[in-house]
């Protein structure tokens, strides 16, 4: 399979723009593990290192679940209420954007993980 065909297959079903670069599993782990990601509407996704997940809506209500990062970088969340979803993260210039399976795009506000280049590994002892 050619690289172009593999890339098209990998992005199938996601709202990937030409300028987007899909984040790898390692990059996604550096972005989310132990981090709180804030969206422009004020909502926050909190990813605990042990796999616990919570999303706090702008009004303060929260939803809880567990997350896992697939080998392709997809983040899947199983909520306590029985619902679930999977998301992908892309880098578009200096911006990190969360893509949903429904084709939605949610840019992140200067996430902690994006303050460092997610393509660069963390150094031991650095935050």
3-state SS string for the chain: CCHHHHHHHHHCCCCCCCCCEECCHHHHHHHHCCCEEEECCCCEEEECCCCEEEEECCCCCEEEEEEEECCCCCEEEEECCCCEEEEEEEEECCEEEEEECCCCEEEEECCHHHHCCCCCCCCCCCC
Report in angstroms the alpha-carbon separations of 114 from 1, 95, 101, 127.
32, 8, 22, 12
Q: So what's the architecture of 15-109 in CATH?
A: Beta Barrel (2.40)
Res. 117 pLDDT band, cuts 50 70 90:
very low
d(CA 117, CA 124): 15
| Tokens describing residue 98 | 């969360």
Read off the pLDDT of residues 26-63 as tens digits, 9 standing for 90 and up: 999 999 999 999 999 999 999 998 999 999 999 999 99
| Tokens describing residue 23 | 């984040």
Q: Which residue has the tokens 């616990």?
A: 52
Read off the pLDDT of residues 80-99 as tens digits, 9 standing for 90 and up: 999 999 999 999 999 999 99
What local confidence, expressed as pLDDT, does residue 81 receive?
95
| Most confident residue range from 4-13, 44-53, 117-126 | 44-53
């Amino acid at each position: 399979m050619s690289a172009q065909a593999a890339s098209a297959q990998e992005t199938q079903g996601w709202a990937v723009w030409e300028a987007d670069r899909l984040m790898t599993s390692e990059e996604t782990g550096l972005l989310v593990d132990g981090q709180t990601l804030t969206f422009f509407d004020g909502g926050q996704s909190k990813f605990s290192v042990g796999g616990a997940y919570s999303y706090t809506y702008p009004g303060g209500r929260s939803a809880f679940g567990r997350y896992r990062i697939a080998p392709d970088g997809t983040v899947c969340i199983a909520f306590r209420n029985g619902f679930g979803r999977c998301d992908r993260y892309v880098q578009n210039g200096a911006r990190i954007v969360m893509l949903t399976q429904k084709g939605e795009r949610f840019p992140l506000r200067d996430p902690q993980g994006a303050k460092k280049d997610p393509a660069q590994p963390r150094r031991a002892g650095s935050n």
